[in-house]
Amino acid sequence: MNEIVLVAALAWLLLCFWAYQGVFFYLARSGADAPSIAALPDELDELGEQELPSITVLVPCYEEREIIAEKVANTLALQYPADKLEILWCDGGSSDGTVEKLEQLTADCAHSLVLRSPQRGKTQQLRYALEQAKGSIIVQTDCDAELPADALLVFARAFEQLPDAGVLGAWVEPKTDLAEEAAFWRDQNALRRLESRGGVSSVVIAACYAYKREALTSLPPDVIADDVHIAFLCQKEGYASYYLDAPRVLEVRAAQEVASIWRHKFRKAHANLRELARFAGRYGDTRLRWRVVFYSKFLQSWVVPLSLPLGLPVLAWATLCYPLVVGATIAALALTTIGFSKQLASSAPRQESAPQQDGAPLGGGMLTQLKMFAMTILLLAAAGISYPWTKHDSSFKKLPSASQ
């Protein structure tokens, strides 16, 4: 009996290791490097305005009066030929004067239009705005995202350089002084870049991403994580998905306290679970690399967290019976994980706007990383267990901006 428990414990450990580290070893050892758009020479002048694609910028908004002026100024400053650019602001029923302020601020911009969605919720607003959009490329951006002036030109160049791409994610950094939030974003950015080797990024961040119009005709009404849905959908339809190192986007609304991380990430975990359930079993004829990534995420989000109540007691039992074997296995996996994490961190593009602490990036300590890893596992377990009885939609309480 003890031998069976040992085998079960070691198998569970290896399953956990694969879900959270092994899959990234696989990605790191296979495929070319992730494409570096920031390092490419600027060839837009050679392309000429006639060859630039038409772009529609979609900005969903709801109760954004406090920050809408900054977003309008940032969006209208984007560099792109006016005759190839359309900006659609889609409000979801704001009652704080957002629409009136929007109409006032954009009155002199001929290629900007304020829409009023008949239904509340980000997904419903996007569905409504997509019906009006005319661009061949859709750039979606949230009101709390600050884009560099050349963001649209960078996306246009990236689609030119990556013809297999269906969706491209901008590199997003949070405006926060919270070490845990900074650590979470740094690690997530590094992992998404790793997934982009071979064009299998499993998410593009909602703050700003761009996709080909033919890749997404409409969103299902029950979507919450649109940034996950579009990546999953593109893979199913035969497109690649990339998380780029440019443009660099700053998200001004980010967690400023640990309690906010719990609330926000719990909701995001639920939204991701919905997309995993939606697309499970629908990738039979897709690339092997994508199937490895998708079903590893299934392990991360569903299987491992829900197996904790059984896996941990079995591991404890095996440790009591075979302490040297289990201890050596855990130590080997831990050392491998630490070494790979350091290698990954050193090879990731530097976060230019990342806050510093004692001359080092905020949240860069191993203790903070372990804390966020444990928090992520607990969040996934809580989300998985509560999923059948918890309802979310695309209307939700926003995080405060860094200035609030």
Cα–Cα dist 207/252, whole Å: 10
Residue type, 147: L
What is the DSSP secondary structure assignment for residue 244, as one 8-state letter? E
């075979």: which residue's tokens? 322
What is the DSSP secondary structure assignment for residue 214, as one 8-state letter? G
């079995």: which residue's tokens? 314
What 3-state DSSP class applies to 348? coil
Residue type, 146: E
Tell whether the model's pLDDT for residue 360 goes beyond 50.
no
Tell whether the model's pLDDT for residue 319 goes beyond 50.
yes
């080909």: which residue's tokens? 212
Task: Determine the pLDDT at residue 67.
Answer: 93
Instruction: Count Cβ neighbours within 10 Å for each residue of 206-231 and write b for 16 or more, e otherwise.
Output: bbbbbbbbebbeebeeebbbbbbbbb
Q: Which residues contact 200 (CB under 8 A, 6 or more apart)?
A: 27, 235, 240, 241, 287, 289, 290, 293
In tens, the pLDDT along 82-127 reads 999 999 999 999 999 999 999 999 999 999 999 999 988 899 999 9
DSSP 21-90: IIHHHHHHHSSPPPP-STTS---HHHH-GGGSPPEEEEEEESS-TTTHHHHHHHHHT--S-GGGEEEEEE
Tell whether the model's pLDDT for residue 50 goes beyond 90.
no
CATH number of 34-279: 3.90.550.10
Task: Determine the pLDDT at residue 55.
Answer: 98
Rounded to two decimals, the pTM is: 0.88
Tell whether the model's pLDDT for residue 211 goes beyond 90.
yes
Please report, for the chain, the start and end positions of each structural domain, with discontinuous segments joined by +: 2-28+291-389, 34-279
